[in-house]
């Protein structure tokens, strides 16, 4: 049975499109049930709709007045995902810290992609951080989402060499190419039930 995905985005959604392509080309045994954005103007919402995928803007504003507003928003997002039958949550450029309230609804069923070789350069502007540090190699990582930002067990990584002439833009573009390969591959391992957690190490079952 195809793995039921819910994809959370905030922006252009190129990883979302790479996932949809992989599904269409038979490289990923999954189905995207719903795309959710915390930003009304996320281009990825339109891209998803063009492909016939249900895409929802969940406005954080009405939650801002409530006590525990971040958790309340996350419970609403989690409930929406559950209502769509989502089994696995895919963070793809979701620029919002996910609270334990949502993580608990999808324990070890939530993945993120980050544009560095974690644990190096977590947080914002990872490509800029790598350049400013003078790193010679960076890349991208797919990991399980846990409460610490960009700290969860690593599922897979791809390395990208840094050239002397690189700018944030050129490096980001080369890393993004790798992201588009890596994320569908990681999700396919998930879909095949081949990811096994041992401590904080992810074993890929043959």
Question: At closest approach, how far in Å is the CB of 72 from ligand GRF?
Answer: 24
Q: b vs e for 11-27, b when ≥16 Cβ sit within 10 Å of the residue's Cβ?
A: bebbbbbbbbebbeeee
160 within 8 A of 174, measured Cβ to Cβ: yes
71 within 8 A of 101, measured Cβ to Cβ: yes
Question: Pairing between strand 137-144 and 110-114?
Answer: antiparallel
Draw the binding track, 99-118, toward ligand GRF (x: CB under 6 A; -: no contact).
--------------xxx---
98 within 8 A of 17, measured Cβ to Cβ: no
Residue 13 near ligand GRF by CB under 6 A: yes
Q: What is the DSSP letter of 58?
A: -
Question: At closest approach, how far in Å is the CB of 48 from ligand GRF?
Answer: 12
Question: Which residue number, 12 or 84, has a Cβ lying nearer to ligand GRF?
Answer: 12
Residue 47 near ligand GRF by CB under 6 A: no
180 flagged as catalytic? no
* Nearest residue to ligand GRF, scored by beta-carbon proximity: 93
Query: Which residues here bind ligand GRF, judged by CB under 6 A?
Result: 9, 11-15, 44, 92-93, 113-115, 140, 176, 179
Catalytic residues: 114
């Amino acid at each position: 049975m195809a793995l039921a995905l819910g994809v959370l985005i905030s922006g252009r959604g190129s990883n979302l499109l790479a996932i949809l392509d992989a599904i269409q080309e038979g490289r990923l045994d999954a189905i995207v049930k719903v795309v959710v954005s915390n930003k009304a103007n996320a281009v990825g919402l339109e891209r998803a709709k063009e492909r016939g995928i249900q895409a929802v803007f969940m406005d954080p504003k009405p939650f801002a007045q409530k006590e525990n507003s971040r958790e309340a928003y996350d419970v609403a997002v989690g409930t929406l995902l559950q209502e769509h039958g989502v089994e696995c949550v895919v963070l793809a450029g979701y620029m919002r810290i996910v609270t334990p309230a949502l993580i608990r609804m999808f324990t070890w069923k939530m993945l993120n992609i980050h544009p560095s070789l974690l644990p190096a350069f977590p947080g914002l502007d990872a490509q800029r951080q790598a350049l400013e540090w003078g790193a010679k190699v960076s890349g991208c990582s797919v990991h399980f989402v846990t409460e610490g930002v960009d700290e969860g067990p690593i599922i897979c990584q791809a390395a990208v060499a840094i050239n002397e002439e690189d700018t944030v833009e050129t490096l980001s573009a080369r890393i993004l190419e790798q992201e588009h390969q890596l994320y569908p591959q990681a999700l396919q391992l998930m879909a095949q039930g081949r990811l096994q957690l041992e401590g904080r190490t992810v074993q890929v079952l043959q």
